[in-house]
Amino acid sequence: MGEWSGLKTLGMVIRRREINGVETGEVQYYISSLKRDVGRFAKATRGHWGIENSNHWTLDMTFREDEKRTRHGPTAENEAWLRRFTLSLLKQHPNQKMSVAMKRRQAGWNENYLTEVVFGATI
């Protein structure tokens, strides 16, 4: 089996949601090297979506992402990637007392702080 030699389980998740009376759904498939354990599988997929939803909320509150007008093509993809990359850098900065939004503002106001966020130390 080569690359798939450690494969032990296949999983499928069916998601449904209703917005304004319109129901939509999607099916996602997963492969794993873990032993079959439905509870663990459900917890892992829910955890993944919890992180996704949390990041979306943070991106919207910090970068006003839902208000962006660039929605298609390479420009939209590049801007979205840049916002996620920036969010990651801001979250990794050790100042725990400051919110991500405030860290972003501080980086815009203070070049030394920006250097700390981007490079991890003062240069």
Whether the predicted model's global pTM rises above the 0.75 cut: no
Question: Percentage of the chain with pLDDT > 90?
Answer: 6
**Residue 42 dihedral angles phi and psi, to the nearest 5°:** -65, -45
pLDDT digits (tens, 9 = 90+) for 19-72: 888 999 889 898 888 888 888 888 888 877 776 667 777 887 788 877 777 778
Domain boundaries, the chain: 7-119
Strands (E), the chain: 9-19, 22-32
Confidence of residue 1 (pLDDT cuts 50, 70, 90): low
CA dihedral 44, 50, 56, 62 (to 10 degrees): -120
